[in-house]
Amino acid sequence: MKAIVYTKYGPPEVAKLMEVPKPKPKDKEVLVKVYTSSVNRTDSGFRSAEYFISRFWSGLFRPKYQILGCEFAGVIEEIGTSVTLFKNGDKVFGFNDKSFGGHGEYLTIAETDAVTNIPENISFEEAAALTEGSHYALVNIRAAKVEPGQNVLVYGATGAIGSAAVQLLKHFEANITAVCNTKNVELVKSLGADVVIDYQTQDFTKTENKFQFIFDAVGKSSFGQCKPMLTEKGIYISTELGKNGENILYALITPFFGGKKLLFPIPSITKQDVLFLKDLVEKGEFKPLIDRKYQIEQIVEAYKYVESGQKTGNVVLQIVE
């Protein structure tokens, strides 16, 4: 089968299209023929090993699993002998940031992992972009224990995580203030934001409102900068470590003082989460935002675009036609 393989950590060019053996499902696994995947910041992070810590999961000196692609959508072609949840021909989508595999024509995944049937009302392309940004957004929203009617500010509302966060917060009935670029104001309103601040014309820190939760979905602000905008026990979460890793330190210290605090939840995803997302899609409450689509041969170009930090939502990778 064809796959994008990386045998060493490094820039986009380390990812190469080649022929590799097709995997075989174990007893409790399914074999998925992948139609579409995505290229995202998780794939980029593991490929570049920009943060050395990622190597503790992916291999200290070289990548243990050499085909990236944490998101996938495709069709089940074979099932293991003990599989009961799926059958051949099922259209499925899912997420796997342990052994990855979405950037290859076939992958195997345990039936109990984060994989489920594609909702009828979306395409393979949309299904491939359903889980990465949204599960990070979900983990952070849950950690902040957002309740209906609370004021929440989403900074960077047009990224994969930000665009999912706005839609999920709408589902949780928060009052959403979203910060984005002039060109995306209408888009962000259409995702469900109640108030939109254009960061090119307004300083978002000058807003009169106070927020129970500030979620920096692109990691461009700081706790110090946002603290005055938080309510007495308000919560700040960022998707990045912050200057000199300060967010880790604040996450260890601030919860002990009972006032405004910074949290740094560890992301995770379960089958329950993909079922939850599927349900929202079926109810018309969530739809992944798609920006560009690349063919598998264009992987280097796709990575470069993703790493420009300027994508709007998600970038889809077509594996087979």
Ligand X SMILES: NC(=O)c1ccc[n+]([C@@H]2O[C@H](COP(=O)([O-])OP(=O)(O)OC[C@H]3O[C@@H](n4cnc5c(N)ncnc54)[C@H](OP(=O)(O)O)[C@@H]3O)[C@@H](O)[C@H]2O)c1
Tokens describing residue 155? 């900074």
Which residue from 171, 157, 161, 73 is spatially nearest to 122, judged by alpha carbons?
73
Residues counted in the chain: 321
Q: List helix spans (H) across 214-316.
A: 223-226, 246-253, 271-282, 299-306
Is residue 264 a contact residue for ligand X (CB under 6 A)?
no
What residues from 111 to 140 belong to the interface with ligand X (CB under 6 A)?
133
If binding is defined by CB under 6 A, does position 285 make contact with ligand X? no
> Interface with ligand X includes 234 (CB under 6 A)?
no
How does DSSP assign 37-78, residue by residue?
EEE-HHHHHHHHT-SGGGHHHH-SSS-SS----SEEEEEEEE
Q: What is the four-CA torsion angle of 314, 94, 277, 154, rounded to 10 degrees?
A: -30
- Binding of residue 310 to ligand X (CB under 6 A): yes
CB of 26 to ligand X, least distance (A): 27
Please report whether residue 238 would count as binding ligand X according to CB under 6 A.
no
Shortest spacing between CB 296 and ligand X, in angstroms = 20
Confirm or reject binding of residue 309 to ligand X (CB under 6 A): yes
Q: Measured from the CB atom, is 174 or 218 closer to ligand X?
A: 218
Binder of ligand X out of 45, 59, 80, 265 (CB under 6 A): 45
Answer yes or no whether residue 161 interacts with ligand X by CB under 6 A: yes
Please state the separation of Cα 11 from the chain's center in Å. 21
Does 158 contact ligand X by CB under 6 A? yes
The site for ligand X (CB under 6 A) is made up of 40-42, 45, 133, 156, 158-162, 180-181, 184, 199, 217-220, 239-240, 309-312
